[in-house]
Amino acid sequence: MNRGATVAQAHDFTHQYAESEDGVTFVLLHGTGGDEYALIGLGNALDADAGVMSPRGKILENGSPRFFRRLAEGVFDMEDLVFRTHELADWIEAAAAEYGIDRDTLVAVGYSNGANIAASMLLLRPETLKRAILLRPMVPLVPESAPDLTGATVHIAAGASDPLIPLKESERLADLLKSYGAEVTFVRQPTGHQLVNADIAAAREWLQHITNA
């Protein structure tokens, strides 16, 4: 996945890009304090031949990059969340066009803050991407207009003892996405906020299932 990778300030997002060798391209969305390199290893573990579009969140919280502002732990600045969701979706669409990537081949892989903005894109901009791996997510917002998520496929991984994302929040997100037509798999790990090998194994199995379908 590191072959030919470059860092560029394209479309106003600093990002990492690598071309796909198997027709799958990950949109890697890091958690708070991460950057465009943070999930490269995770992407390699999921599919070493997949391409990469990995942007760095523009918001800084005490110097730590994020994808949108929050007012407190688990309390989001909703106006900023909506703005940043559309901003990121616009970037994904423009960057995919610039790199010549079919958006049907995109798979969002988001962790924590990155998982939440990926979920927000599914709810507000469902046309941008249809496949997502959401690791430790919660409900970012409930949209005013119901999106049509028919054909969307989502894998959610929650931590049963996550002190930052209550399990019920991840379960609520799964139910919300299903109510709009998405096909959702939900995996609960006996752990906290940090990812474990079982998270990667379950996500890899899900990915192989949808890409071989």
pLDDT in tens, the chain (213 residues): 444 444 445 558 999 999 999 999 999 999 999 999 999 999 999 999 999 999 999 999 999 999 999 998 888 999 999 999 999 999 999 999 999 999 999 999 999 999 999 999 999 999 999 999 999 999 999 999 999 999 999 999 999 999 999 999 999 999 999 999 999 999 999 999 999 999 999 999 999 999 886
Please give the pLDDT value at position 1. 46
Please give the pLDDT value at position 10. 52
Please give the pLDDT value at position 72. 87
Q: Is 120 annotated in the active site?
A: no
List 64, 77, 90, 193, catalytic entry: 193
d(CA 136, CA 170): 7
Q: Is 11 annotated in the active site?
A: no
Please give the pLDDT value at position 173. 98
Q: Is 54 annotated in the active site?
A: no
Please give the pLDDT value at position 41. 97
Please give the pLDDT value at position 142. 96
C-alpha separations of 96 from 24, 120, 126, 164 in Å: 12, 19, 16, 33
Task: Give the rounded distance of the alpha carbon of 70 from its chain centre.
Answer: 18
C-alpha separations of 46 from 30, 37, 144, 164 in Å: 15, 15, 34, 25
3-class DSSP state of 154: strand
DSSP 8-state assignment for residue 190:
S
Average pLDDT over the chain, rounded to an integer: 93
Please give the pLDDT value at position 211. 87
d(CA 54, CA 67): 12
d(CA 110, CA 156): 10
d(CA 181, CA 15): 31
pLDDT tens, 69-115? Answer: 999 888 899 999 999 999 999 999 999 999 999 999 999 999 999 99
Please give the pLDDT value at position 3. 45
d(CA 42, CA 44): 5
Q: Does the predicted TM-score (pTM) go above 0.85?
A: yes
Please give the pLDDT value at position 11. 58
Based on the number of CB atoms within 10 Å of its own CB, is 41 exposed (0-12), middle (13-18) or buried (19 or more)? Answer: exposed
List 15, 47, 155, 162, catalytic entry: 162
Contact 183, 204 (CB under 8 A): no
**CA angle 51-97-4, nearest 5°?**
35
Contact 112, 33 (CB under 8 A): no
Taken in order 68, 72, 75, 77, the sign of the CA dihedral is negative
d(CA 26, CA 80): 24
Contact 91, 12 (CB under 8 A): yes
List 15, 20, 54, 112, catalytic entry: 112
